[in-house]
Amino acid sequence: MKAFIFDFDGLILDTEEACYEAWQEIYADYGTSLPLETWLLCIGTTNDACDPLGTLAKLSGRDINYNAVQTAHSKSFRAKSRLLPLKPGVLDYLKWARANGLQTAVASSSARDWVVPLLEENGILPYFDVIQTKNDVKTVKPNPELFIATKSMLKLEDFEAVIFEDSYNGIIAGNLANLYTVAIPNSLTKNMDLSAASHTISSLDLITPPNLLKMLEKGV
């Protein structure tokens, strides 16, 4: 194994929960709520998949100032996200990879100006050799383009890297890129069908990198 490739939202930081909470607060102001099953359509891809603004207008039956609502959500979401700790095990895996000569990357369907500042604020930006975001590709997950581009930049062959993902869209993209996929569901994605992953664990801190790699190589 030559590299670890990390998703960002919901995997390094639990930003997906923070984003959903910020939307729920706005929906509550309009006398309604955003169904979880609708929000799950967005996870691992773009908001176009569930259209939270259009859904708000439809469910509330009210005229929506889209720009004002989006601005309010972004402000709340960013404030919540800056308070989040790294998810358990992330830093340990990054340190282990660095100590053992593995390359590391982030491959995220989010924007670069969202991902990079939060990596920097949490002190882990220097650990990554490559960062690929939606700004670097034409199509995000579940299309494999993000992972294929990352794989190329790291000069990897098929199945020379492990992708850590929390969503169905990410797992499908990783499989299509011919890389090992490890599903680590969070509080929102735990009910998704992640069975296509090479392996599923509830948290990175529950298994050491060497033991995880042994399990993947044996197909356990």
**Residues forming the active site:** 7, 9
Q: Does residue 142 have a cis bond before it (omega within 30 degrees)?
A: yes
Q: Which residues contact 171 (CB under 8 A, 6 or more apart)?
A: 165, 181, 183, 194, 196, 197
Q: Rounded to an integer, what distance in angstroms lies between the CA atom of residue 83 and that of residue 99?
A: 29
Q: Which residues contact 204 (CB under 8 A, 6 or more apart)?
A: 87, 88, 89, 90, 92, 93, 164, 184
Tell the burial category of 2 from Cβ atoms under 10 Å away from its Cβ (0-12, 13-18, 19+): middle
